[in-house]
Structure 1
Amino acid sequence: MSSQSTPQSSPSSSISSSPPRTPPNLHQNSIDPSAKWLVQKFGGTSVGKFAVKIAEDIVSNYIDQNKVAIVCSARSGSTKALGTTNLLLRASGEALQRRAKAASNSGTVTPVSRSLFGAGFDASQSPPTSPKPSSRSSRSSSPQQFPGFTPIITTPVVESVPNFSATVDLIRQEHFTAARASVRDPELLQELEEEITRDCEWLRNFLFAAQVVDEISPRSRDSIIGLGERLACKIMTAVLRDQGIDAEYVSLEDIVPDMDDSDGTLEQSLGQDFYDRLSVALGERIHLCGPRVPVVTGFFGPVPGSLLRQVGRGYTDLLSALLAVGLQASELQIWKEVDGIFTADPRKVPTARLIPIISPDEAAELTYYGSEVVHPFTMEQVIRKKIPIRIKNVENPRGGGTVIHPDPDADTSGAADLNSQVPEPVTYMALQETLAMEMHDRKRLPTAVTIKEHIIVLNVNSNRKSVSHGFLAGIFGTLDRFGVVVDLISTSEVHVSMAIEDSLAKKLLDRLVRELQKNGTVSIHREMAILSLVGKQMRNMVGIAGRMFMTLAQGNVNIEMISQGASEINISCVIDTRDAVKALNLIHQSCLQIKPEGPRGRGGWSGWSL
């Protein structure tokens, strides 16, 4: 896997892919040979709302002792609908919509018109007229003298402005607004606006071409979505340089070499070896930046089978993990708008506390059951290389956050010691040590309790007197054909209960039920929720399941189904959604033994996990 060639120098204000010439007053990464790399990943909301704060209060405080690399997601908007990724998806959808045609002598020039008439052609002007013919010449060319001749109507037909053009203009304006609010230097701002305009015009032309062929391939859709990260990183690069930090914009569109996948086998074999080679290439590319702070696009180019299909919209987190591996970083930091992972959702449980350290298995279980921590595949990339992940809050940069520690046998009392790997501000060290000691005292208790709402329970009861060996195979085969992911399952010889997300369209769910009815009687329970108690110490805790279910029974919370994971660190049950908040508080107080008068985790009101 080859990396990009060494970039050439460009003017000092440059934010393009070529590195800028460095004025002597710009702050750079540490040149200490012993300094470790630190990868900081910022989500779309952080980039959208706190770009200046990231430069002033976060990056500037780390680069004296570390070599910092930054990864950015596409910017969020003032509303969810105005988020860059959502706008890009909307524009790509609009490009495939049929445009209404207007027969008129005036209209908007399309790329096709320009190619036919030249760049100087203006469709808003009347078409050129030829000299008025004489009456004789007119008679000589009369249709009556040419039987069967049909005159050609020469009135031009000009297509209306496509819907996606307005969406592209909206994307440009949203980024103009962000740039003008964050960058003070007029020259830097002008160059940034020119970059934004060029990128948006590239998108407009790309979508025009897609409309002509009436198709957007998966690879093309990847390129369209990747524009969001490119724009976000260019803005962040300009903000950093405006704040006196020597930053370099790094695009990774060509980091993955072209691969022949005509037979489709490469997509199927895209495994860990591919990601290992990619991480090496990423590390080599970032080392070319020298002491400058690289601002890296979360989009890393087309991969066999499409990046969106292979990884999904969480590819920015994956890229940051692969980059941390390629740089042999001391830590991967994921920055959003929360202090870390809490013992419960503090918006629903007032006594929820910040967890200073958690195991990867626990974090994965919390992700599966309703808490957006870090995707397990992303965690796997760094954890297997013994690199810790720290979740931190952009609005509280001096807080210690939550560390997902790669050592499954790590004692929670060592949470404060982790700060020696990546120096953290001293102000909150005492708080971190207090929390670590408190967690050490509670180490034989569960770690957290979580709830996942919008669940449907499907019960299938065999209607055969003698159960066929194909009963379960028929059910699982049907689920596979419909692409249904089962969150929880409970089985017996004649009965299967499955908890799935309530995300299927009504018609699709009706078809699924009809297919399942071939195996037996089917019943549906809607408006359910999955309650999960998670903790690596629970495998050694006798009676914890009994305490959990006794607590729910005493609180008059009915249980629809029960399941325990094979890892023995998770006990889950399905309850009615209307009892979700009550059940969370009951289990948090009883099983985690956190009383109502206990302290709350700082910043918990922003959300309890990423």
Structure 2
Amino acid sequence: MSSTSTPASTSASTPTSLPVEELLRNSLDENVPWVVQKYGGTSVGKSLDSITKIVESYLPTSRVALVCSARSSHTKALGTTNLLLQASREALQSSAARSSASGTQTPSAFFPKRVGSGFFGDRERESQPGSAAQKDMAGSMMSSISSLSQLELRSSSPSPFQPSGLGRSPSTPTTPQWNGEDTEIKPEAFHLTVDVLKKGHIEAARATLKPGPLREELEEEIERDCENLRSFLYAAQIIDEISPRSQDSIVGTGERLACKIVAAALRDRGIDSELVVLDNIVDATMSSVSDHFTSSGDQGVAQLGQDFYDQLAARLGERIRECGARVPVITGYFGPVPGSLLAQIGRGYTDLCAALSAVGLNASELQVWKEVDGIFTADPRKVPSARLVPIITPDEAAELTYYGSEVIHPFTMEQVIRAKIPIRIKNVENPKGSGTIIYPDEGFPRGLDSEPPAKELVAEEQAKIEGRMPTAVTIKDQIIVLNIHSNRKTISHGFLARIFGTLDRAGVVVDLISTSEVHVSMALQDFMQKKRLDRLLRDLAHIGDVTVSRDMAILSLVGRNMRNAIGSAGLMFMSLAKAMINIEMISQGASEINISCVIENKDAVKALNVIHESCLTIPTSPDAESLMF
């Protein structure tokens, strides 16, 4: 048996007088494969019942480990992580406002220009950029937080989580009046944001768990975590500084809260679970090794090398195995890393944690549970005839991610694919669906045996291969196109170098580029503030004549089979021409699995349907196939 049912607790004096609680557990048999399941914030916020049923369904055949993101009950914009970042900003803004009222000048920068100023030992300190003042400030931050219990936090209501005599909790905060000026200071906004977080998680706990000791304990844990967060932000406000490491810790609160709710929900439904908090998984022996860093990346931040992630994967595997028969519920946040978690990895660190956990466990597959059935040939909300793609290669998935479809981050995917572990994308509300498999190798069978694709989907995949059909079409909107024409035609050898140097200094990422000796067209996402864009245009004007096309979109046709198909690009552009859709620029990579063009944003949905109909419709007869190619 791969799952066992054993008594959770019995009384030593009357072993038969109390009911025995039967709990589902992971198998202790090393031959039973691991399955790592990653759940996004929306799934944690809306589909906890489905999550517990999914875990229960896998326990008879697999050992299951869960990795969870911070919960989002409505939209990602109102999710926990965004609220935590908002609270961080509010803490510093409150400090700036208070200093302004008292006539004191304070810095207003939220993120230091250089992150990773060295928090992990002498060797790491020497290897990372950052001024001595920043390092001293980080130390002051930690000292202030550790001594925070000695501060009196003024409030109108008592807190049950502080010893008596230490003041009041700032649950309903007021700010003291400042002497010297008759200026009223409003309550700090970050307190209200923390209250919103606490209320949302407590309501989720009450809606998820049955009344009883377990729910009461969970509510106490949520209260404690939120008050610790409040104290942390209060200390940051006092010293007017949030270091990169402190920002990581603040953001990590979201995963800790979410995983506590998920672990309690599993336990409430008869699955023996264990919360795995990874705050200390990266210790000094890992973080102080300068060999982990490769050459500097964007804006001078040294990037962690593969050796670091290999060591982290091994440690994650060891830590998860320590849970024994309990089902581990793992925080996607895995503690402070050299150079800051957000700077090194970004908001996708939860996916990376799941991938490294799968590598460390040598899992049979990594499952990414979303609110969609998998990857489609086009966005089904815009193209009614879009079909589910049963199998896709990592290269194709990476291209779709780059150009508008949220699949899984290419760097995260690379960690799993290197270990020959397939990735299965499934719908948390449709667990019986086959989903989409990102397959590391066409000849590699592991992971498919547990849930093979439906026969009709395999037949469809074979038809695609035989017909040399593309895999999917995607659109990326909110694009602007910059056209630069050299104004020094006799000196063209430094033209491209000057353009890319200007883009690098501005921190601009280019999605598509088309070049000639004296002309460059670049498509980039229109996310910059107007002042920043105007400054970039002024800098580029010193290099050449610049024109800007706005309200554009990138249309991308992706497919590994196009590499050997004659006429794919011709069919794509001919179809757009017949539909009277103008093309602004064209780009095709050396891999030949992606053909992209820039069109006007108003034609985006029309273009998607036209290309899907002409290039992604399975031929029903030899005559139809001959018309395609």
Q: TM-score, normalised by structure 2?
A: 0.80
Q: Does 1:468 align with 2:479?
A: no
Larger Rg: 1
Match of 1:96 in 2: 92
Find 1:280's aligned residue among 300, 314, 317.
314
Contact 2:281/2:335, CA 8 A, preserved across alignment: yes
Match of 2:57 in 1: 61
Once the two structures are aligned, what percentage of the paired residues are identical? Answer: 63
Kindly indicate whether structure 1 or structure 2 has the higher relative contact order, using CA contacts under 8 Å at least 6 residues apart. Answer: 1
Contact 1:47/1:236, CA 8 A, preserved across alignment: yes
| Alpha-carbon distance in 1 for matches of 2:221, 2:319 | 22
Q: Does 1:521 align with 2:545?
A: yes
Match of 1:150 in 2: none
Find 2:591's aligned residue among 536, 554, 567.
567
Alignment-mate amino acid for residue 56 of structure 2: S
| Alpha-carbon distance in 2 for matches of 1:39, 1:262 | 31
| Alpha-carbon distance in 2 for matches of 1:122, 1:499 | 56
CA displacement 1:113-169 (0-9 Å, x = unmatched): 469xx9648799xxxxxxxxxxxxxxxxxxxxxxxxxxxx99999976422112111
Match of 1:457 in 2: 481
Find 1:354's aligned residue among 377, 385, 388.
388
Contact 1:55/1:243, CA 8 A, preserved across alignment: yes
Q: Does 1:220 align with 2:246?
A: yes
Q: Are residues 338 and 269 of structure 1, via their aligned partners in 2, closer, same or farther at CA, if it must alter by over 3 Å?
A: closer
Alignment-mate amino acid for residue 334 of structure 1: V
Deviation (angstroms), 1:343:
0.4
| Alpha-carbon distance in 2 for matches of 1:571, 1:155 | 64
Match of 1:203 in 2: 229
Q: Are residues 208 and 592 of structure 1, via their aligned partners in 2, closer, same or farther at CA, if it must alter by over 3 Å?
A: same
CA displacement 1:239-290 (0-9 Å, x = unmatched): 0000100000000000001334899968726200000000000000011000
| Alpha-carbon distance in 2 for matches of 1:120, 1:288 | 40
| Alpha-carbon distance in 1 for matches of 2:165, 2:558 | 68
| Alpha-carbon distance in 2 for matches of 1:183, 1:52 | 10
| Alpha-carbon distance in 1 for matches of 2:496, 2:181 | 67
| Alpha-carbon distance in 1 for matches of 2:94, 2:428 | 44
CA displacement 1:549-571 (0-9 Å, x = unmatched): 11111111101000001111001
CA displacement 1:153-205 (0-9 Å, x = unmatched): 99999976422112111111100000000001411100000000110111011
After superposition, residues 365-376 of structure 1 pair within 5 angstroms as 365-376=399-410
Find 1:342's aligned residue among 366, 376, 386.
376
After superposition, residues 10-159 of structure 1 pair within 5 angstroms as 24-56=21-53, 58-98=54-94, 112-113=151-152, 120=165
Contact 1:110/1:159, CA 8 A, preserved across alignment: no
Deviation (angstroms), 1:515:
0.8
| Alpha-carbon distance in 1 for matches of 2:48, 2:538 | 51
Match of 2:277 in 1: 251
Match of 1:178 in 2: 204
Q: Are residues 595 and 189 of structure 1, via their aligned partners in 2, closer, same or farther at CA, if it must alter by over 3 Å?
A: farther
Q: Are residues 543 and 94 of structure 1, via their aligned partners in 2, closer, same or farther at CA, if it must alter by over 3 Å?
A: same
Contact 1:74/1:85, CA 8 A, preserved across alignment: yes
Contact 1:251/1:297, CA 8 A, preserved across alignment: yes
Give unpaired runs (5+ residues) of structure 1.
Answer: 1-10, 14-21, 104-108, 125-152, 597-610
Q: Are residues 516 and 394 of structure 1, via their aligned partners in 2, closer, same or farther at CA, if it must alter by over 3 Å?
A: same
Match of 1:505 in 2: 529
After superposition, residues 468-487 of structure 1 pair within 5 angstroms as 468-487=492-511
Match of 1:18 in 2: none
Alignment-mate amino acid for residue 227 of structure 2: E
| Alpha-carbon distance in 2 for matches of 1:514, 1:161 | 42
Kindly tell me the number of residue pairs found equivalent between the two proteins.
Answer: 530
| Alpha-carbon distance in 2 for matches of 1:279, 1:378 | 12
CA displacement 1:459-513 (0-9 Å, x = unmatched): 0011224143111111111011101111100011111000000011111111111
| CA-based RMSD | 3.0
Match of 1:239 in 2: 265
Q: TM-score, normalised by structure 1?
A: 0.82
Give unpaired runs (5+ residues) of structure 2.
Answer: 1-7, 11-18, 103-147, 155-162, 170-178, 295-300, 621-629
1:26 is paired with a residue of what secondary structure? strand
Deviation (angstroms), 1:98:
3.1
Q: Are residues 120 and 522 of structure 1, via their aligned partners in 2, closer, same or farther at CA, if it must alter by over 3 Å?
A: same
Alignment-mate amino acid for residue 476 of structure 2: K
Contact 1:458/1:499, CA 8 A, preserved across alignment: yes
1:442 is paired with a residue of what secondary structure? helix
Deviation (angstroms), 1:52:
1.8
Match of 1:307 in 2: 341
Contact 2:153/2:168, CA 8 A, preserved across alignment: no
Match of 1:495 in 2: 519
2:368 is paired with a residue of what secondary structure? strand
Alignment-mate amino acid for residue 257 of structure 1: D
Q: Does 1:363 align with 2:387?
A: no
2:454 is paired with a residue of what secondary structure? helix
Find 2:326's aligned residue among 292, 314, 318.
292
Alignment-mate amino acid for residue 241 of structure 1: R
Alignment-mate amino acid for residue 338 of structure 2: P
